[in-house]
């Protein structure tokens, strides 16, 4: 399954496409089969409950620093989390305007690709 994320590194926004792969007898194989490409949203979040965006980790790493707290108002493309991965810091940006509803992964938490870090209420 392929996912497209936006990550911000050193003030520059990059769009990356990630695909789950596995190694079979020394060969790397994609877990997805060729099919018609579905439209993508270019968001770093997936939709949670109605009116809520789950901000997810675009890569494995550690939550180095939360830039927001519960109740903070955020703007689309605002940096909300700094991840540390392989001795580098990567900024995770808000996919929408809203209010931080919950922190799921606090500072120091190890996260995997797709783990929810925080939720934003769009209401």
106 token code pair: 């606090």
> What pLDDT, on a 0 to 100 scale, did the predictor assign at position 38?
31
Q: Is the pTM of this model over 0.75?
A: no
> What pLDDT, on a 0 to 100 scale, did the predictor assign at position 24?
63
Total domain count, the chain: 1
Q: Which CATH number does the domain housing residue 14 bear?
A: 2.40.50.100
Contact 30, 72 (CB under 8 A): no
118 token code pair: 């925080």
For 13-43, the DSSP string reads EEEEEEE-EEEETTEEEESSPP-PPPP----
Q: Which domain holds residue 104?
A: 2-121
Q: What is the pLDDT of residues 103-123, one digit of tens each?
A: 999 999 999 988 999 999 987
């Amino acid at each position: 399954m392929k996912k497209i994320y936006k990550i911000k590194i050193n003030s520059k926004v990059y769009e990356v496409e990630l695909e789950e792969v596995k190694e079979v007898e020394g060969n790397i194989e994609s877990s997805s089969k060729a099919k018609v490409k579905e439209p993508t949203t270019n968001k770093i979040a997936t939709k949670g409950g109605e009116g809520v965006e789950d901000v997810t980790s675009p890569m494995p790493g550690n939550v180095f620093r939360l830039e927001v707290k519960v109740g903070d108002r955020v703007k689309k493309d605002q940096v909300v989390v700094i991840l540390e991965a392989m001795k580098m810091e990567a900024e995770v940006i808000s996919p929408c305007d809203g209010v931080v509803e919950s922190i799921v992964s606090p500072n120091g938490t190890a996260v995997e690709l797709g783990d929810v870090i925080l939720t934003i209420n769009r209401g």
